[in-house]
């Protein structure tokens, strides 16, 4: 599988709402970072879909190297 495109080398802060479903972009091609807009079609990538369990501001990964299953930043951008 090809590597995802690095959308940015820093996380983006987003307000996530409790009970809302999100689709995190894993390919890096979405123009709606950090969320999926369907640009992955035909690439072999698919978004990570999750429902937030609490309303909270989180740093979402844009380098696409995070090891967090929901796309939350884990600092991986520091080595990109």
Residue 80 vs residues 17, 30, 32, 64, 75: alpha-carbon distances, Å: 29, 19, 21, 10, 10
Domain-located, residue 16: yes
Q: Residue 78 — very low, low, confident or very high, per pLDDT cuts 50/70/90?
A: very high
Omega before residue 34 within 30° of 0, cis: yes
% of the chain residues with pLDDT over 70? 99
pLDDT at 80: 86
Domain-located, residue 77: no
- The count of domains in the chain is 1
Structural domain boundaries enclosing 51 = 1-64
Total-model pTM: 0.93
């Amino acid at each position: 599988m090809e590597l995802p495109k690095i959308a940015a080398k820093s996380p983006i802060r987003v307000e996530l709402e409790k009970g809302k479903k999100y689709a995190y972009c894993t390919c890096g091609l979405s123009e709606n970072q950090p969320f999926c807009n369907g640009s992955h079609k035909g690439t072999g990538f698919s978004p990570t879909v999750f429902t937030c369990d609490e309303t909270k501001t989180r740093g979402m990964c844009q380098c696409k190297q995070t090891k967090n299953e929901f796309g939350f930043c884990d600092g991986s951008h520091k080595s990109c």
